[in-house]
Each structure stands twice: as C-alpha cells, then as structure tokens.
A and B are shown apart, each in its own frame.
Chain A
C-alpha cells in the first residue's frame, strides 16, 4: 500500500478560556490517500475547523496541540511559522467558508493567483504566470478570463470569489486540499458548481481532499470516507457507503434522521436529537453523547467508549458500547429514535377554496432607487427587487417562497410586515387592506394578527432583556393587564417546549435552537393568525432544526396558524409547506402545490434548483443527474426585456432560432392550472 498523503494520529488541541481548559479536539486519527476525499461532519463546535486549522498550523498561539500530523512523511507539528508557510505554499491548499476573507481586497485576482504560482515555482516568468492565471480562471469557469483577471475581489459575486479561491488553491499544484465548509455561504445552484469544481480540481491535480461540512448531502455527494465528529472526537468513521447504509452510532443515526429530504414527499415527523452538545470543559469520563442518547445504559457512563472496529470490518469504526447491537439505525426491531407524533389538522379535510384567506397579496412591487455619489446622492437607476408578485394563503396553510439569495424573498416579507401600501396592488391581512389603515392604533391592532420569526436566533433577541421580558413585550405593547402577562408568558414557554422556570434568564444562557423557540413564543404571544418566518431554521444545526420544524408543524395544527415561510433550503420547504413559490429575480417563476412542484417541476429554473440539492444517500446521489447552471444571478439593476432566466436557462440552449425569439423579447406570464400549478416559461 502506498503511504497516505496526510496521516493524522491522536491529534489533540486545547485552548485556555475563562471557564477552564477547552478541549476542542480530543484524539483524532485518520489517513487521506492520493485522490481520495475525506469528509468530516459534525455539529457546530464539534471541532471540525480546529482539526483542519491544526493540520495547517494556523491555530492561535494560545492553542496547545498534541499528537502527530504527517504530510508526505514529514511531521508538521512543532514547525515554525516560516517553515509551515513554505510547506503550505508547496503542496497544501485551503478553501474557506467565506471567500472574501481569503482574498486580499487591494490586489487584483490575477496578482493573487500569480503570487501563489511564483511561491510554488520561483523560476516561472511573469508572463507565463499571467498566462497560467488566465488559464486557471477559465478552468474554474470565470467568463471572459482575460478581462476579469485584472478585476478586484469585490467586483465578483460570492460564488465567483469562491471559484477564484479554488483557482488559487489549484495554482500551487497541491497534493492536499483542505476545504472548510466551502459552500455553506453559497446558494444551492452555486454549491453544485463549486462541488463539481472541487472534483475537477482534484482530478487535475490528483490531490487528496479533506472536506469539512455539516451537510450530509454534501458528504454523500463528494466523500469517499467519512468521519463523524462529536464533542471533539470522531465517533464514527467509515467508507461513505457503509456509513450511510449501516450506521452504528446513535449520534450519526440521529444526524441522518434529522434531515428532511427533497426527494421524498411523505410527511412523517423528523426525528430530532434532544438537548445540545456538551461544553468541552472538564468532560467526565463517559460517553459525551449520553445526555442526548435515547438508548443510554449504565455502561455508557462508566468510561468514554473507544473508537473500535464494528461489524467485523476494520475500516468501519464506531465509539459506542452498543454499536454491535445496532444494525442500520435499528436496535432489534425498533428504531433507535422513537418517532414523535404530530397531530393531524382538522382543517386539512376542508377544501382549500372553502377556507378563509389570512393573507392576500396582489401585484406586490418594490423598487429601490440606486443612488450614486457620496456628497449629493443622485438617482442613477432603480433596483427592481420585487416585480408584481401575487399569492394568497388560507387558514391552516403553509406557503413557502424559495429562491437564491438576492431573488427578493426577504424584501417580499418585509413589504408585507411594513404594511407597505401598493400603487397598483394590495396587501390584505385577514381581510383588512393595508391601504385602509388610518393611524397608529389601527396599525397596532392589525399587528396582533401577523407576527414574524427571524433567521438569526442570536440577533433577534435583545441580549439585555430577560426571556420573560422578551416574550412579554408584544403582550405589553397590545396593552395586556400586568397581572395576565405572567401566566401568559408561562403558557407560551410551555407551548414551545421550554421550562417556564427558565424565563428569568438572559437569551445568552440558551442554545441556538432554544433561542429560536423563544422567538417563536414571542411571535405567538398575541395569538396571530399569520406567522411570517424568514429562514427560521437555516442558522441551526441539523439535529436542532428537526425539533424546531416539528414544533412549527405541531403549532400550526394546534393553533390553526398560517405560515408564510421563506427558505433557501428546499428539503425543509418540501417537508413543511403545503404550497410553494419559486422566485427568481423578483418574480415567481413557478407556483403551486408543493408535491406538484417538487415531483413535476415545470420551469427550467425549478428543475435546476431541485437537481442541485445533494441528497443524503451516496447511492442515490451517484445516480442523480445534476443540472449545473452556468453563471450567477444577473444583477437586478439590469433591464431585461424577455425572460429573466434567459442568461442561465439550459432549455434555451436547446431551442431553435424561432423559439428563442419569444424568450428574448416577451416576459413570460404565469400559466398552467390556475391555483394548482403554474409556471412562467414560454416553452413549458
């Protein structure tokens, strides 16, 4: 057997902190061979990033690192910064989550690629280096590379910057590429491009890849071997197919059970993992997952389980005392995780047309003026953020809007929340038109009926207010008598699954998922009819997401709520929504019942979007055809005469001259089975 490119043994990393020593990585061992891809998955704080930083020698000075990291037979730990940067320049490349921070804003992208090239090969002439830079940009799919090579990073979109980073990563002909969540900040269609690109880069250079991610779908898509990390340790390690087919460790099982799937329509409740990961300070000698494990036994608490081979395969290892009992996620005949029950709605039997509408939006439009000049701002154009969007939501219904970032989802929500009067349209909330609102009183009255839950559970709660005050604020605002506020807050805390006794704490004392529950409790305080949710789970870890999604499902049924749900994660949408609208550049391109849209996508953009999502199943994933869109979302300042999607449309490429004319000159309107499934494409 050949020696692996990277070989890590018993890696440990700890940091001093106010609360004591944080053991961020506690014994990680793995090999990555040439041309292989190792996926490392785990929740936030599980030590994935620290592991990769330790390999690259980029940890803070206060970190204490132990163990061994061998790169092509040489030990990397204990090297000086100067030695490390030489090694890195000569064979290790890295791709980080945020492409902006890894590019220097004051140099052109060409300069930065050339720099990487000349570090690797000092004899390369300047000319040749520039030519190679252009070639690399072409390879990573930057259009018109000769011109763009002189551009600065801020002139590129997020996806293009990440492509530049990959070009730089390829420049020094690496033997090892370390990618830390390279696609997390990007949209799914761009994610598909980047994953393909990383595979291309790997093929071109024959490098070993270490791919760090929290997305099981990405792992299924790209990895050969997988390590699942928890509380700073690998708890299951196996080839990708084995891991997905024969999961042994309850945490990995939970991780897989907690994600909704875009390719399955059945609406069974997701299986959340209760609780949150332990703090990495003074961990007891027990299974770190014990507090959250549904099948914990006394043996789990006596010592921390070793990572040992299971099922008779040397390359499948798990750290669980009951791993041998567990087969493919089941313990005997029962699933490891009991499936929670979600009540069925009585409203579901009432046909949609007979239910009362809670929100009606007609021709919603929003234009932002484009200003230029720092002293006297002159209007130089307009940004059409939302262009004539219409839809309605009935009682007990969830409507989802999906689309890439910049497509106008959040603007649509905020227009509704702002009660923005429309010039040539209307917003009606439970029958009241916002145009008829006179004065602050009437507005406040209407605000009772519509409440919002934000994306960021940290940012949406005032850190200086106790949870009680946070939840009580809407109650006090509507003038509820002080005596009734206390009981109502307790009731709400109970409703969202939090202990009312904890309401005198500050938000910082709660985990992300719990904070999002507080946000939901606050939104429900005034008994609204409609709750607007702006990416309510995208900031949460998958295992926590499941619990929040189940809660939303349950509340909808119990309280007869309607949801307007904005998300970019189509798997979550498929799970939670009844109806869905796909948004592109400010307009709906497809709109209809969720199963109709997902099972039979009509618009080429919807098709591409659905195919871009990696499915957490390596076998299915390998057989799937991904439609990779070229290019990015066009700028919303451009005036487009025909179909907005024409610049990226795969269908357009297959059309003949005559058919193309319509795409380029006429704006397609939504057509199809009205109210059930409509799309905006001339040719579908």
Chain B
C-alpha cells in the first residue's frame, strides 16, 4: 500500500522555480492543477466521479420525482414488476421500490460519509499522536490497535448493532469503532518517519506544544493518504453496512438502506427479481465508482505511480 514516498509532494522535491521570474522561467503549475490534470487523465477515475455525482444527485433529487412515499402502501399493486406507475416495481406489501431505493441510497450514503469521516479523523489523530509522543501513549495505542485487530470485531459489531434497534446513528458509531484501527496502524508506521523530519524537530525546538505539532505538522503532511483513506472508507462502510443490514443486524424497517432492501429482495429473487436488482445495481454503482475514484486519487497524488511520469 502507501509507502512513505507516496506522501511526497511531487513538486516539493522537484525542480523549484525561483519566485523572481528570470528569463526563460514559466509560472510553475500549481500543485492542485497538477493533481487534477493527472486525475483527469485517468479515464476510469473520471467515469467514477461522474457515476458518483449522478448517484448523489439521484439520492438528493430523486424524491422530487417520486409519486409515492417509501412507507406509503399501494394495495392495488402488490409485487408488481416495473411499470409506468411504479418505475422500479413494488414489494409484496405495496411499497414503491423507486421511493425505497432513493431513501435507502440516502441512508447508505449518509452512513458511509459519517463513518468514513469518523474513521479518518480518529485514525489520523491516534496514529500520528502515537508516533509523535512515543512512550506510554504509543504503547497503549498500539496495544488497543493490536487487540482490536485480533478481536472478533464483526461479532461484536453484530451484537452491538442488534441492540440498537436499527438506529442508523448507532450503526455508524459502531462501524467507526470497529474500522479505525487498520488505518491507524498504517498511519502510525508512516508517521514514524515523519516524526524524524527536520521540520518536526524544528517545531519542537521552538517550544510548540506536542498536540499542536501533531495537528499542524503531522496530519497535514499525510493529507493525501487521508484523502485516499476517506474514499476507500466510503466503499468499506457501504459494504459493511450492507452486510449488516442484509443479515438483519443493521437498519430496520421502517427505515431502509440499500443493504436491508437487498436483504429483503434476495429472499424473493425468483418471484420478484426487480426487488433485488434495483437496490443491488445502486449499491454496485456506488462502490465501484468510489473504488475507481480512490484508485485515480492514488495515482494522481503519488509521484512514483506509473501514471505520474507521463506528460
């Protein structure tokens, strides 16, 4: 995965242009323009962005076009296949599947973003702080991380979320608690070398307090890793939430998520296949698009990647 070199800003070590324009000087590319140019060169990643944006638009704007509310029952159409009336069909109780997919997507996205944000922040702070402070802080953090890595967290997760009664906020919290430590460990390893960088020493010798150094110097310098982690975190959270809901430990009716919809749909896949296919398609598009974006980001931010050197 990410090595130390992937954190190097490709322009920071490269040929610096003196600010005073000498003849023959050209304005250097800004870092962000360079990144976006490299990202834009990656077709699949751009496709990923497009799909993702469309999905988000669908989740946000979809309700505007819905003819039914997702809890509303249409007794005239039970287990109907897709039709002009019910675009995605209905389930055996008469719920409009289009409305349910829109709401489910909203819920899944919300959980994913909250979980990815929480995981990224938690892992960044704990990973860098453990590396910077060393000593007891490091030992305790690593103990917790290693313990969680071997503990049967999925069981824990299932039990805890089962007690929650299907409240998505509890599920998000539980998902954060069981997923931060993998990233925290990677960040810890990376930060060990960052800790020895001279600018960190410089700050320490200026008397800057430790936590300030962590927040001002360490975390910003693993920024690109965090961006990638966040994107991958979204994929992971969507999958985890889907898995839980599919098994019945996650979001419970009347609330729906893509996972719970797939769970219900899969039981009637032979009689009413549309009930499975529509939420499953939304889920696939979501995870695949984010995975493509994560891939593209990694290539764009990592100066050593193959795509980087190409002009």
Residue B1 CB within 8 A of the other chain: no
Which of the candidate stretches B58-66, B78-86, B193-201 sits at the interface with the other chain?
B193-201
Size of interface on A: residues with Cβ below 8 Å to B: 57
Asked if A451 contacts B26 (CB within 8 A), the reply is no
Q: How far is the CB of B217 from chain A (nearest CB, A)?
A: 5
Q: Indicate if the CB atoms of B23 and A19 lie closer than 8 Å.
A: no
Asked if residues A509 and B19 are in contact (CB atoms below 8 Å), the reply is: yes
The 8 Å CB contact of A460, one of B14, B24, B199, is B199
Asked whether B12 lies within 8 Å of A447 as measured between CB atoms, the reply is no
Max chain B CB contacts within 10 Å: which of A276, A279, A417, A499? A279
B155 contacts partner chain A, Cβ-Cβ < 8 Å: no
B47-55, B121-129, B203-211, B237-245: which lies at the A interface? B203-211
In the assembly, what is the distance between CA of A330 and CA of B212, in Å?
54
Q: Which residues of A contact B209 (CB under 8 A)?
A: 440
Q: Does A339 contact B (CB under 8 A)?
A: no
Chain B interface size, under 10 / 10 to 19 / 20 to 34 / 35 or more: 35 or more
Q: Does chain B have a CB within 8 A of A502?
A: yes
Q: Do the beta carbons of B22 and A478 come within 8 Å of each other? A: no
A440 CA to B208 CA, complexed, in Å:
10
Asked whether A90 is an interface residue with its Cβ less than 8 Å from the other chain, the reply is no
Q: How far is the CB of A193 from chain B (nearest CB, A)?
A: 30
**Smallest Cβ distance from B96 to chain A, in angstroms?**
49
- Convert A440-472 into 0s and 1s, putting 1 for each residue whose CB lies closer than 8 angstroms to a CB of B: 100110010001101110111111110000000
Q: Does A538 belong to the interface (CB within 8 Å)?
A: no
Collect the chain B residues with CB atoms within 8 Å of residue A522's CB: 202, 206
Residue of B nearest to A450 (CB): B205
**Contact status B24-A279, CB under 8 Å:** yes
A18 within 8 A of B: yes
Is the CB–CB distance between B9 and A282 below 8 Å?
no
Contact with B along A272-288 (1 / 0, CB 8 A): 00011011011110101
Alpha-carbon distance between A502 and B223 when the two chains are bound, in angstroms: 24
Main SS at interface, chain B: loop
Residues B217 and A502 in contact, CB atoms below 8 Å apart: no
Say if the beta carbon of A47 comes within 8 Å of chain B.
no
Using an 8 Å CB-CB cutoff, how does the interface string of B10-37 with A read, 1 for contact, 0 for none? 0111111111101111101101001001
B309 on the A face (CB < 8 A): yes
A507 touching B12, Cβ below 8 Å: yes
Task: Give every chain A residue within 8 A of B6 (Cβ-Cβ).
Answer: none
Query: Could you say which residues of chain A place their CB within 8 Å of the CB of B217?
Result: 462, 464-465
The answer to whether B203 touches A473, judged by C-beta atoms less than 8 angstroms apart, is: yes
B221 near A276 (CB under 8 angstroms)? no
Inter-chain contact count A-B, CB under 8 Å? 122
Whole-angstrom CA separation of A440 from B12 in the bound complex? 34
* 8 Å CB contact of B26 from A275, A282, A511: A282
CA distance A290 to B31 in the complex (A): 29
A67 / chain B contacts, CB cutoff of 8 Å? none
Query: How far is it, in angstroms, between the C-alpha of A465 and the C-alpha of B213 when the chains are bound?
Result: 12
A508 touches B206 (CB 8 A): no
Q: Given A284-B24, A288-B24, A447-B207, are A463 and B12 neighbors across the interface (CB < 8 Å)?
A: yes
Complex CA gap A18/B311 in Å reads 5
Which of B11, B23, B34, B37 counts the most A-chain CB atoms under 10 A from its CB?
B23
Q: B206 touching A447 by the CB < 8 A rule?
A: yes
Whether B202 pairs with A460 at a CB distance below 8 angstroms is: yes
Bound complex: CA A440 to CA B26 (Å): 47
Most chain B CB atoms below 10 A, which of A451, A455, A473: A473
Among B15, B18, B207, B221, the residue within 8 A (CB) of A463 is: B221
Give the contacts of A247-304 with B (CB-CB under 8 A).
275-276, 278-279, 281-284, 286, 288, 290-292, 301
Known: A16-B311, A17-B311, A276-B18. A477 touches B13 (CB 8 A): no
- Which chain A residue has the least Cβ–Cβ distance from B221? A464
**A residues less than 8 Å from B208 (CB atoms):** 473, 477
A62 within 8 A of B: yes
Q: Which residues of A contact B201 (CB under 8 A)?
A: 452, 454, 460
Say yes or no: is B165 at the interface (Cβ < 8 Å to chain A). no
B14, B31, B198 pick with most chain A CB within 10 angstroms:
B198
Give which listed residue, A458, A505, A526, contacts B12 with CB less than 8 A: A458
Question: Would you call the interface of chain A mostly helix, strand, loop, or mixed?
Answer: loop
Residues of B within 8 A of A292 (CB): 22
Contact, CB under 8 Å: A509 / B16: yes
**How many angstroms between the C-alpha atoms of A62 and B220 in the bound complex?**
33
Cα separation A451 to B203 with both chains bound (whole Å): 10
B23 lies within 8 A of A290 (CB): yes
In the complex, A474→B202 CA distance in Å?
A: 10
Flag if A279 contacts B15 (CB, 8 Å).
Answer: yes
Supposing A447-B205, A454-B201 touch, asked if A291 and B16 sit within 8 A by C-beta, the answer is: no
Whether A459 contacts B26 in the complex (CB less than 8 A), given A443-B207, A473-B206, A507-B12, comes out as no
Give Cα distance in the complex from A275 to B20, angstroms: 8
Give the residues in chain B near A502, CB-CB below 8 Å: 19
| Chain A residues positioned under 8 Å from B37 (CB to CB) | 18
Report the minimal beta-carbon distance from B188 to chain A, rounded to whole angstroms: 18
Per-residue interface assignment for chain B, residues 168 to 184, with 1 indicating a CB less than 8 Å from any chain A CB and 0 otherwise: 00000000000000000
Hey, which chain B residues are within 8 Å of A290, CB to CB? 23
A514 within 8 A of B: yes
A332 within 8 A of B: no
Smallest distance from the beta carbon of B20 to chain A beta carbons, Å?
7
- List residues of chain A with CB within 8 A of the CB of B11: 508
Give every chain B residue within 8 A of A440 (Cβ-Cβ).
209
User: Closest residue of chain B to A464, judged by CB?
Assistant: B220
A459 touches B206 (CB 8 A): no
Q: How far is the CB of B210 from chain A (nearest CB, A)?
A: 10
Closest-by-CB residue of A relative to B8 is: A463
CB–CB A291/B34 < 8 A: no
CB distance from B236 to the nearest CB of A (A): 26
Contacts of A459 on B, CB cut-off 8 Å?
Answer: 197-199
| 7 pairs of residues in contact across A and B, judged by CB atoms under 8 Å | A19-B28, A443-B207, A444-B207, A477-B208, A508-B31, A510-B18, A522-B206
A interface residues, Cβ below 8 angstroms from B: 16-20, 45, 62, 275-276, 278-279, 281-284, 286, 288, 290-292, 301, 417, 440, 443-444, 447, 451-452, 454-456, 458-465, 473-474, 477-478, 499, 502, 505-512, 514, 519, 522, 526
The 4 closest A-B pairs by CB, nearest first: A16-B311, A460-B198, A291-B22, A447-B207
Given A286-B24, A508-B12, A508-B14; 7 other pairs, CB 8 A cutoff: A18-B29, A275-B20, A279-B15, A288-B24, A461-B199, A462-B199, A463-B9
